[in-house]
């Protein structure tokens, strides 16, 4: 089958013909139909420092997808051939403290598809049955293909708790953008979006932000305080990973507020712990992945309610073979979220 792979330690991916993966007794073989392109994939494509440290070629890339079940192992109980599914890309060990206490999303021995093991940018992927998520017919394919990052947004929003709250979203890349309709649907009373990129802020407004702010504005924190009775926002959703943004973000949270951190700083940050967290009595939450499978149920409920519409955020659905263009579009900032369509994929175009 064709698979998009990192073959050598240098920029770019190669579309390569490889064998269809075999499945064990508890595994499910899925024919991939649509797959989301993630910032992580771009790191691997461009072969940045993070990728050089983390990725061991050769590897099939991709971790966000939906498709149809092609085959199931002998011990598979609840998934059938032909079912329309997505899957959780974090493969948890199942036996550590976290896995045994309902916290498998922070499993100590997690393996991530497309990062630690072969991923979904291929005609087929094998997944443990326990990772498979059956898709409700009401969920469009494009949305189903990005349940993984949408789940990041949902997990962040739900961990923070936004019902009736004022919420600042720091950084509106594709997950930050998704967090806007998610936060509103989950009950946020007001959503402020902040980014350094004006075109992202425009998109943020379109998908439901009450107000948007340039992160470079030197009055940013004061402007937020002005709009929140001088108290600050109830909740910060940190999705930028920038040290300066984190500092401003924490500064704009009210005493006793909550900050959920999803964005990954690429290096150590400097922080005034006393002023930003301790004296204010903040609750700061590290967010990783998506709860298995509470977040998936929540994501499904939100999408089915009709209140989380990703059409403006999925700016491009491209044929799979245009993967190079996808990474260029992401690099240029023209794209928010890109979905690759693998339905027409056949081995022929490899020739």
Residues 245-274 that bind a second copy (CB under 8 A): 246, 254-256, 261-262, 264-265, 267-274
Q: Which of 160, 157, 192 is nearest to 283 (CA)?
A: 160
Closest CB to a second copy among 279 and 349? 279
Minimum distance, C-beta of residue 227 to a second copy, in the bound complex (Å): 12
**Rounded Cα distance, 129 and 115, in Å:** 20
Q: x-or-dash pattern for a second copy, window 13-52, by CB under 8 A? A: ------------xx--------------------------
Among 282, 314, 326, 338, binds a second copy (CB under 8 A): 282
Closer residue to a second copy (CB): 17 or 275:
275
Residue 322, classed as helix, strand or coil, is helix
Cβ–Cβ < 8 Å for 126, 223: no
Residue in 31, 190, 227, 290 binding a second copy, rule: CB under 8 A: 190
For a second copy, the closer of residues 14 and 255 by Cβ is 255
Query: What's the min distance (Å) between Cβ of 210 and a second copy?
Result: 9
Query: Can you tell me the distance from the alpha carbon of 135 to that of 161, in angstroms, rounded to the nearest whole number?
Result: 26
| String of contacts with a second copy for each residue 45-84, x by CB under 8 A | ------------------------------x-xx------
Q: 232 near 224, Cβ under 8 Å?
A: yes
Q: How many residues bind a second copy (CB under 8 A)?
A: 76
Tokens 């700083």, residue located:
265
Residues between 285 and 344 with contacts to a second copy, criterion CB under 8 A: 285-288, 291-294, 296-298, 301-302, 304-305, 307
Write out the two tokens for 289: 């992945």
Q: What does DSSP assign to residue 119?
A: -
Least distance from a second copy to the Cβ atom of residue 283, Å? 6
Q: How far apart are CA 156 and CA 105, in angstroms?
A: 13
Instruction: Extract the tokens encoding 333.
Output: 């900032």
Binding flag, residue 225, a second copy (CB under 8 A): no
Structure tokens at 109: 């021995």
Among the residue ranges 114-122, 161-169, 198-206, 315-323, the one whose residues contact a second copy (CB under 8 A): 161-169
Exposure string of 209-227, with b = 16+ CB inside 10 Å and e = fewer, is bbbbbebeeeebbebbbeb
Q: What is the largest CA-CA distance in the chain?
A: 64
Among 106, 196, 312, 317, binds a second copy (CB under 8 A): 106
Site residues (CB under 8 A) for a second copy, limited to 130-159: 130, 154, 158
State the nearest-atom distance from the C-beta of 90 to a second copy, in Å: 12
Three-state secondary-structure class, residue 189: coil
Q: Write out the DSSP string of 208-234.
A: T-SEEEETT-TTHHHHHHHHTTTT-EE
Token pair, residue 204, equals: 């943020």
The binder of a second copy chosen from 40, 86, 123, 166 (CB under 8 A): 166
Identified binder of a second copy from the candidate list 10, 17, 48, 108, rule CB under 8 A: 108
- Which C-beta is closer to a second copy: that of 31 or that of 190? 190
By C-beta, is 9 or 281 nearer to a second copy? 281
List, by residue number, the catalytic residues: 40, 43
Q: Is 231 exposed, middle or buried (0-12, 13-18, 19+ CB in 10 A)?
A: middle
Distance between CA atoms of 328 and 148, rounded to whole angstroms?
Answer: 22
Cβ nearer to a second copy, comparing 46 with 293? 293
């Amino acid at each position: 089958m064709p698979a998009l792979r990192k073959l050598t330690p240098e920029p770019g991916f190669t579309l390569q013909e490889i064998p269809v993966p075999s499945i064990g007794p508890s595994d499910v073989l899925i024919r991939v139909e649509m797959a989301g392109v993630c910032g992580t994939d771009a790191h691997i494509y461009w072969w940045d420092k993070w990728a050089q440290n983390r990725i061991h070629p050769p590897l099939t890339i991709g971790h966000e997808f939906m498709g149809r079940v092609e085959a199931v192992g002998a011990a598979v109980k609840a998934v059938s051939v032909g079912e329309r599914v997505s899957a959780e890309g974090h493969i948890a060990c199942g036996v550590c403290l976290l896995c045994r206490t309902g916290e498998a999303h922070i499993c100590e021995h997690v393996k991530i598809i497309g990062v630690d093991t072969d991923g979904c940018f291929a005609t087929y992927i094998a997944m443990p049955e326990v990772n498979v998520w059956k898709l409700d017919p009401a969920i469009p394919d494009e949305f189903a293909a990005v349940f993984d990052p949408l789940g990041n947004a949902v997990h962040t929003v739900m961990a923070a708790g936004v019902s009736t709250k004022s919420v600042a979203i720091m950084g509106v890349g594709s997950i930050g953008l998704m967090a806007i309709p998610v936060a509103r649907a989950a009950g946020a009373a007001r959503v402020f979006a902040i980014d350094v990129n004006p075109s992202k802020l425009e998109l943020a407004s379109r998908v439901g932000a009450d107000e948007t702010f340039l992160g470079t504005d030197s009055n940013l924190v004061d402007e937020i305080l002005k709009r929140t009775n001088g108290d600050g926002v109830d909740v910060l959703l940190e999705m930028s990973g920038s040290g300066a943004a984190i500092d401003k973000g924490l500064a704009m949270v009210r005493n006793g507020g909550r900050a959920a951190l999803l964005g990954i700083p690429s290096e150590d940050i400097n922080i005034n712990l006393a002023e930003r967290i301790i004296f204010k009595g903040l609750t700061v939450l590290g967010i990783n992945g998506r709860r298995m499978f509470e977040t998936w149920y929540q994501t499904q409920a939100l999408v089915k309610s009709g209140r989380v519409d990703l059409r403006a955020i999925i700016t491009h659905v491209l044929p799979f073979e245009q993967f190079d263009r996808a990474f260029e579009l992401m690099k240029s900032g023209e794209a928010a979220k890109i979905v690759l369509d693998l339905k027409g994929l056949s081995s022929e175009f490899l020739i």
